[in-house]
Amino acid sequence: MVNLTLIITSVLFAVLVIIGAIYFVVYFQSPTDKWVAWFPKVIVILSLSLAAWNIFLLPLDVANQSGSVGASPGGIPIQTLTLAFYATSIIIVLVVMPFTVFYYEGEDNKDDEDAPKRSASGQFGYAIKWIIPTLAFIAGIVAAMYWGGLGYAQISTTYLQSPLFDTTDLEANSLAGFYTFQFYCNTTAVGKTITLTPRVPLAVNASAPTYTVTPAGTSGSPGFGCASVSGTPICCAVTAVNEVVVSVGVFVIAVITLLGWIIFAVFGGVGMASLPYDMLNEFQHRPKPISSTEYAERKVKIGQQAQLLMEVGKTVNQEVKEAARGNSFNKRYRVIKNRERQFRKDVIILDYHYKKLEECYRFQSGNILLQYIKLFLACLSTLLTLLWTIHIGLYVIPSLLQQRGQAVNPVSPFLNDMLNLTQGVPVVGIFLYALFTFYLLFCVLKGNAKLGMRLVFITVHPLVVGETLMSGLVFNAGIILLCSLPLAQFCNVAFAGYAQYTSNQSIFGVSISTLKGISVGFDVCVYVMLGFMVITFFYNMYNPYKKEKENQLKFNW
């Protein structure tokens, strides 16, 4: 039966997500991009909406399934929706966004500075020239992996075998046939002695017989054992690993999800440690009122650094144009591109110091209420990082080890209990789920910015209110959309107690997480995320605020 209330609620929520994505673009976009660049704006809005839908499919799946096994009472085809959303996300990440980047890169003729800009058809041709070999290269890698022996899901299966019994003697044989199958075949009782008592009606004055079921000898195969009554096998269990072919679509989703996992693990781990630390530092070193004399001195220093960067910018720009005329894959070109990235980061740092100086002097330390809101968010992020760390240690890691056949049980459901307790309370359960999941996305963006300021080969596109160019919005929307896939899988593991019998679990828990040669990578990324979080934590502890690169107004050129 179709649940109309659930369907209407889902549609309204989807519309609200789109409205939120539109507001995000309007809030962060640069004034130069207003009423122009409609195509990338649509891509950003669609990407952000899809990312949110990918994440919220799990609570929708839980509500649709209502804890039942088999057909969903809600009537919504969640598995079809999930695969459709994931496939659309991959198309946008692999095709649409690279095409958009190549299209706008082709606007300028890099070979001749005085040449006019390319026309729209010229930009389109330039984008096609680059997107086709890019997709062919990716398709070749995926095809080689799929038909090279990795397109199988390795599913552990237990085969149960039992002979037929004569049911003339209901008291004895129903015990042997039914109770043994019920009790023994659904447990790992090999090596134990089990005493069973029949529950069938007994004759008047008859005593209830008991039977001892003992394990017989093994056949030599791992996981093989038989229970027997008086030496006669009545139930045998054989455990084996079956290789089941997965569809090409599911395999592509798995490969792209693994790529997203790498980004999610590295940036997410760095962000989980850096976001609380940096927000607390921002409050501690918040802008404070300064005198006109100090303002003038600091402004002169900023002006000197700005003059230096202007001269450097001219040199770097000329070097990039000269290098672009040659081979884009030679060492010199890569060195110059790294210099260009470093120059852009120094400009970001200079702009940050200038705005902070103006806030200290002209606005007399800025909005006090906003500063204390940041303090509240810093405390909240500290709490969320702590809760996630505890949950990963108590539940996620033991669950992953258990899936790999280790005799380990989760220490505590932890966050699962909280979500289950609030599941029946309107809004609260969804709010808590959104709080924990979207916090991890914010950590990914923070980790990208944190590492990007320190590693010269990482490009930084900071999100600045009212000043973010469309290239920055497209880049960050791509990161968010790509990381929404591993985040959805991570939530299926982390909240498995909350998401029982759902379609998402059948996709991630059976098809993707058991893929031959790939599934181990998903588990390793969880440890990588924890490792980067610990390393970043100690780095922050032993690296004072004033020694942070972005807090120093001194550029080495």
- For residue 475, what are the CA distances in angstroms to 93, 101, 260? 10, 9, 14
What are the φ and ψ backbone dihedral angles of 159, each rounded to 5 degrees?
A: -95, 130
Q: Cite the DSSP H helix spans in 152-202.
A: 170-174, 180-183
Q: Do 99 and 181 reside in the same domain of the chain?
A: no
* Full residue range of the structural domain in which residue 186 is found: 155-245
Answer whether 213's CB lies under 8 Å from 228's CB.
yes
pLDDT at 90: 93
pLDDT at 331: 78
Q: Give the residue with greater pLDDT, 458 vs 146.
A: 146
Q: Do 21 and 135 reside in the same domain of the chain?
A: yes
- Non-local (6+) Cβ contacts of 439 within 8 A are 381, 384, 388
Percent of the chain with pLDDT over 70: 78
pLDDT at 223: 42
Q: Report if residue 280 sits inside a domain.
A: no
Answer whether 191's CB lies under 8 Å from 184's CB.
no
Answer whether 269's CB lies under 8 Å from 530's CB.
yes
Q: Do 124 and 187 reside in the same domain of the chain?
A: no
Q: Do 198 and 117 reside in the same domain of the chain?
A: no
Q: Report if residue 296 sits inside a domain.
A: no
Q: Report if residue 449 sits inside a domain.
A: yes
Nearest-5° angle of CA 440, CA 31, CA 103?
A: 75
Task: Please say which residue of 200, 221, 245 terminates a domain.
Answer: 245
- Helix 470-494, helix 97-105: angle, nearest 10: 160
Please state whether beta strands 194-196 and 225-229 pair in parallel, antiparallel, or not at all (unpaired).
unpaired
Give residue 334's identity as a one-letter amino acid code. R
Q: Report if residue 356 sits inside a domain.
A: no
Q: Do 102 and 172 reside in the same domain of the chain?
A: no
Q: Give the residue with greater pLDDT, 424 vs 17.
A: 17
Q: Do 170 and 189 reside in the same domain of the chain?
A: yes
Q: Report if residue 338 sits inside a domain.
A: no
Confidence category of residue 278, pLDDT binned at 50, 70, 90: very high
Determine the average pLDDT of the residues in 335-357.
Answer: 88
Q: Report if residue 310 sits inside a domain.
A: no
Q: What is the rounded CA–CA span in Å between residue 544 and residue 286?
A: 16
Nearest to 508 by CA among 267, 445, 495, 432: 495
11-25, 202-216, 282-296, 369-383: segment of lowest average pLDDT: 202-216
- For residue 53, what are the CA distances in angstroms to 23, 57, 90? 17, 6, 14
Mean of pLDDT over the chain: 81
Tens of pLDDT, residues 173-225: 444 444 444 444 444 444 444 444 444 444 444 444 444 444 444 444 334 45
pLDDT at 175: 42
Q: Is the pLDDT of residue 246 over 90?
A: no
Determine the average pLDDT of the residues in 422-440.
Answer: 89
Residue where the block lists tokens 């939120």: 20
Q: What is the rounded CA–CA span in Å between residue 464 and residue 102?
A: 24
Q: Report if residue 199 sits inside a domain.
A: yes
- For residue 529, what are the CA distances in angstroms to 395, 439, 480, 519? 15, 15, 17, 16
Please write down the HEC assignment for all residues of 495-526.
Answer: CCCCCCCCHHHHHHHHHHCCECCCHHHHHHHH
Q: How many domains does the chain have?
A: 2
Nearest to 493 by CA among 263, 261, 246: 261
Residues of the chain by 3-state class (helix, strand, coil), percent to 5: 65, 5, 30
Confidence category of residue 384, pLDDT binned at 50, 70, 90: very high
Q: Is the pLDDT of residue 555 over 80?
A: no
Maximum Cα interatomic distance, the chain, rounded to a whole number of Å: 110
Q: What is the rounded CA–CA span in Å between residue 23 and residue 127?
A: 29
Task: Please say which residue of 245, 276, 306 terminates a domain.
Answer: 245
Q: Report if residue 208 sits inside a domain.
A: yes
Q: Do 110 and 215 reside in the same domain of the chain?
A: no
Task: Please say which residue of 198, 220, 245 terminates a domain.
Answer: 245
Q: Do 105 and 198 reside in the same domain of the chain?
A: no
What are the φ and ψ backbone dihedral angles of 229, each rounded to 5 degrees?
A: -115, 120
Q: What is the rounded CA–CA span in Å between residue 278 and residue 540?
A: 9
State the CB neighbour count (10 A cutoff) for residue 76. Answer: 20
What are the φ and ψ backbone dihedral angles of 153, each rounded to 5 degrees?
A: -100, 125
Q: Do 147 and 205 reside in the same domain of the chain?
A: no
Q: Do 13 and 95 reside in the same domain of the chain?
A: yes
Q: Do 372 and 509 reside in the same domain of the chain?
A: yes
Confidence category of residue 110, pLDDT binned at 50, 70, 90: low
Determine the average pLDDT of the residues in 411-417.
Answer: 93
3-state secondary structure of 265: helix
Q: Give the residue with greater pLDDT, 230 vs 378.
A: 378
Q: Do 431 and 476 reside in the same domain of the chain?
A: yes
